[in-house]
Structures are given as structure tokens and as C-alpha cells.
Amino acid sequence: MAKIDIHAKRPVPSGLDFVPVEGGASNLTFGVVRRQIGTGPTQTVHQTILRRLSPGRAAQITDPWLPNCYRHDVLLPPKAPDECHDPQALCNLYEGQAFDKIKDLVVMATLRFHSPDRLHNEWEAIRAFAYERLCKERHLAVVAAMHLPVLIGSTNPPHIHLMALARELHSFGFGALIRPFASDQGKQILADEMMQFLPSFELA
């Protein structure tokens, strides 16, 4: 029996470009940005990455990227091409090597800090986790973006977006897809690994 893509049955919430996986850790929002969900708009990795790097700004993907989020970085697996440290170049490579029927674009995880320690401590802990478990072990390129909503008058807590492009990245470019991580199962997979790597982080 063919596997049913349950994302096609659930609408994308307003203001998002993915369907969040329900249940589990409340401080972790998880979902996969697809090329298209149902009859929704066609999406690109550029749109997904740039909107988190430049929140609140109508940035154009063809212009030079000038991130204005609180902090950001591009984390690469050891054999990735050096030029992929540029997030725009990374997205160009992903789209340039995308095949016609590709569905998975970005695995999106957002981690919220309701009672943060020093923000640089939270950033470095999450960055270390992402590099070890996503880049080194899974060969994924990850764009990390930290938002501090209080800077624009919002009461939302500080949070970090981990955006993993949904194919392995090697010296020759992008390769294998990453199911089941790029599926609903990915939320529990990520939560379990975070509890092992970062036992002090409050996921509940």
C-alpha cells in the first residue's frame, strides 16, 4: 500500500510555510517545508531561509542577502563545498540540483526559550547540537537563525530556527533525501536526541 502524505490533508496555518507536527514537546515546533502542499503556492528554499534571516523585512531573494536577525550562521558537514557557507549560495546549489518531482525542501525546527540563561549560552548549546547531530552525523547543511522579538516590541520568547536542507550534502553537492527525519517522525527523533545531548534544555 502506498504511503499517504498526511501533510496534504492538513492546511498550512496562516503565516507559515509548513504544517507543524502536533503533540510532543511544546518548546519545539517542527515541520517540513515542501515544494507544494495541496493546492498551495510553490515554494523555494530561498524563500524559507531568507524570511528567517531577515524577519519583518521585504527582502528579495535575487538581491544580496543582508540578514537582520539577532544571530545567524551556516553549519556544514565536513565535506561540503566551502562556498556553501554563504546561505544564498547554499540555496542556489540546492535548487540548482533539485530534480523535477522533489517534495522536501527544508526541515524546520524552532526552539523557544521562555526562561533563557545568557543568550550566547543558549545559542552555542543549540549550535553545538546541530553541528554534531545534523551536520556531522547526518551530513546536513543547517542554517541557524536566532530571533529576539523584544527588539521589535513583541512579547514572544527568544527562539532559534534550525533550518536543515532536506538532502545530504557532500563534496559533489546534494545527494540522498533524509526520510524519516524529513517527516512527522522527525519531531520525536529530534526531541529524543536533544534530551540526550542537551539534558538541561526544557522541551516540555
pLDDT of 41 higher than 80: yes
The three-class DSSP label of residue 86 is coil
Return d(Cα 154, Cα 203) in angstroms, integer. 22
- Please report whether residue 157 resides in a domain: yes
- Mean pLDDT score, 38-65: 92
Cell numbers standing for residue 160: 532559534
- Please report whether residue 103 resides in a domain: yes
Per-residue pLDDT band for 16 (boundaries 50, 70, 90) equals: confident
pLDDT, averaged across the chain? 91
Per-residue pLDDT band for 10 (boundaries 50, 70, 90) equals: low
Per-residue pLDDT band for 201 (boundaries 50, 70, 90) equals: confident
The single-letter DSSP state of residue 2 is P
The three-class DSSP label of residue 135 is helix
Per-residue pLDDT band for 106 (boundaries 50, 70, 90) equals: very high
pLDDT of 83 higher than 80: yes
Return d(Cα 39, Cα 25) in angstroms, integer. 29
pTM to 2 decimals? 0.92
In the sheet that holds 142-147, the strands lie side by side as 28-34, 104-112, 159-165, 142-147, 71-75
- Please report whether residue 2 resides in a domain: no
pLDDT at 116: 76
pLDDT at 57: 85
- Please report whether residue 8 resides in a domain: no
- Please report whether residue 142 resides in a domain: yes
What's 67's domain CATH number?
3.30.930.30
pLDDT of 3 higher than 70: no
- Please report whether residue 14 resides in a domain: no
Beta strand ranges found along 17-63 (DSSP E): 28-34
C-alpha count within 13 angstroms, C-beta hemisphere, residue 115: 5
Q: Pairing state of beta strands 159-165 and 142-147?
A: antiparallel
pLDDT at 11: 66
Cell numbers standing for residue 189: 527523533
- Please report whether residue 112 resides in a domain: yes
- Please report whether residue 60 resides in a domain: yes
pLDDT of 1 higher than 80: no
The single-letter DSSP state of residue 158 is P
Per-residue pLDDT band for 9 (boundaries 50, 70, 90) equals: low
pLDDT of 34 higher than 80: yes
Maximum C-alpha span of the chain: 50
- Mean pLDDT score, 71-87: 97
- Mean pLDDT score, 79-106: 97
How many domains does the chain divide into? 1
Question: Domain limits at 168?
Answer: 25-197
